[in-house]
Amino acid sequence: MSDSPTIFVLFGATGDLAARMVLPAFYTLARKDLLPPQWRLIGNGRGDVAHEDFRTDVRNALAEYGPEVDDADWEDFSQRLLFAGGGFDESGPGSLLDVISEVKDELDDAAEPNFVHYLAIPPKAFESTAKALKQHGLTDRARVVFEKPYGTSPEDFRHLDQVVHEILDEEQVFRIDHFLGKEATQNLHVLRFANQTFAGVWHRDHIAAVQIDVPETLDVANRAGFYDATGALMDMVVTHLIQVAAEVAMEPPLSLGAEDLQQARESVIAAFRPLKPDEVVLGQFEGYREIEGVAEDSDTDTFCAVRLWVDTDRWHGVPFLLRTGKKLGVSEQRVSLVMRPVDGPLTAPEQPNAITLSLAGSGSLEVDFVLKQPGEGVKPAQVRQRLELDEIENADPLPPYVALLYDVLTGDRSLFTGSAGLEHAWRVVDPILREAPALQPYPPGSMGPKAADELAAPFGWLSGDR
């Protein structure tokens, strides 16, 4: 697909997600020469926006959120940007079909173009847009990227998945999760499967707990309407953190090919035990209900911490601790394997040893050791070695959206979860959706409700303390 003429249609092109994530990713792909030789990007929205005005909007988005724009590159890039207004639904395509027809006339007519439809739109519009793609003949030679969350409840997920599969083959569907596109998340595979030092300890005999911790200092900003209808559990745990937990917990796949990786990921999610209300802490930061766009009596969770159990021989008895929230004291994205104390003549250190991957930015690896403090006698000293992944020789890290969009172009589904995996993820959180624990307030700048600390006993949460 990558060498054929390709038309990208970006639904929701004037929205916040497109500006912050998708458009900068497209520009980066162009700068790195990772797009097909012949491509066009058509933005779609309800308003009537001239092509030149859309190009100005894209330039402004790149200035605020994207990489530095090179004037020479921009000249070529901008001329490939167009806009189709008037909306898009089953009753009418707006001007999209007309603009596509114009683009086809410009492209090499020796080959039919491929399509990548990117749905950067609210989840409630996924079904109607998918049906409209079918109605207006835009599903052949097409791949469709769905943003998160893919469904807002187990029942809604099943309904949406059924509708989508009536329109598209599973191989055409790419449910994007930018956490799986992070360099450090992908490095979990290489770290574990290419290094006996780590492969040998990836087991309950050596690991006391796994922490996947994503606290944020940010509030909901201009996403209040979306966030108030979603919350931390659905926005982060279902969509992101369960998938990262699967990356840690999976059994070794036969290969790192897409089919084998997906099967390994989905198989272990099927072994995740459904959550219990007494092992989940939900919170809401004080002042949340005063934000414009948030209901005065909102019971939306802005914090979620869970203790998850994986019913496999490898992980039996090892808690997977997942935490995320808004307006917390630190911003971090960490996967930590907390090691068991060593039995022997030396006193265990106060802080347990851990192997930690930071998922932020290009990622880093931290490994704790206890060594002899140089000098007289035998005095254990705790040391930490840190490796920045972007400092590896010849490193050229790709931001998550860039990596995942490139995978869509090449048809590589290894970092995309299939519907079976999401079905299992919804099963895990379903008990909490049906019987949620009481919402607990917490002050901005704290690390959330105190009850969450009890979930991580006896070691405590490592983020913010290391």
Instruction: Write out the binding residues for substrate.
Output: 178, 182, 216, 235, 326
* Alpha carbon distance 103, 41 (integer Å): 10
- The residue type found at 150 is Y
Parallel, antiparallel or unpaired: strands 142-146 and 303-308: unpaired
* Alpha carbon distance 399, 395 (integer Å): 13
Q: Is the dihedral of CA 8, 42, 66, 178 positive or negative?
A: negative
List of residues 6+ apart from 79 with CB closer than 8 A: none
* Alpha carbon distance 264, 246 (integer Å): 8
**Smallest Cα–Cα separation from 243: which of 313, 296, 177?**
177
List of residues 6+ apart from 292 with CB closer than 8 A: 224
Q: How far is CA 154 from the centre of its chain?
A: 19
Task: Name the catalytic one among 189, 203, 206, 240.
Answer: 240
Hey, what are 49's tokens? 């926006």
Q: Where is the binding site, in residues? A: 46, 148, 178, 182, 216, 235, 326
Task: Note whether 431 and 425 are within 8 A (CB).
Answer: no
CB count, 10 Å around CB of 346? 12
Distances (CA, A) of 151 to 90, 127, 158, 162, 219: 20, 10, 8, 11, 23
Q: How far is CA 139 from the centre of its chain?
A: 25
End-to-end Cα spacing for the chain? 46
**Smallest Cα–Cα separation from 127: which of 168, 83, 172?**
168
* Alpha carbon distance 303, 440 (integer Å): 9
* Alpha carbon distance 35, 28 (integer Å): 10
Is 240 among the catalytic positions?
yes
- Which residue numbers are catalytic? 240
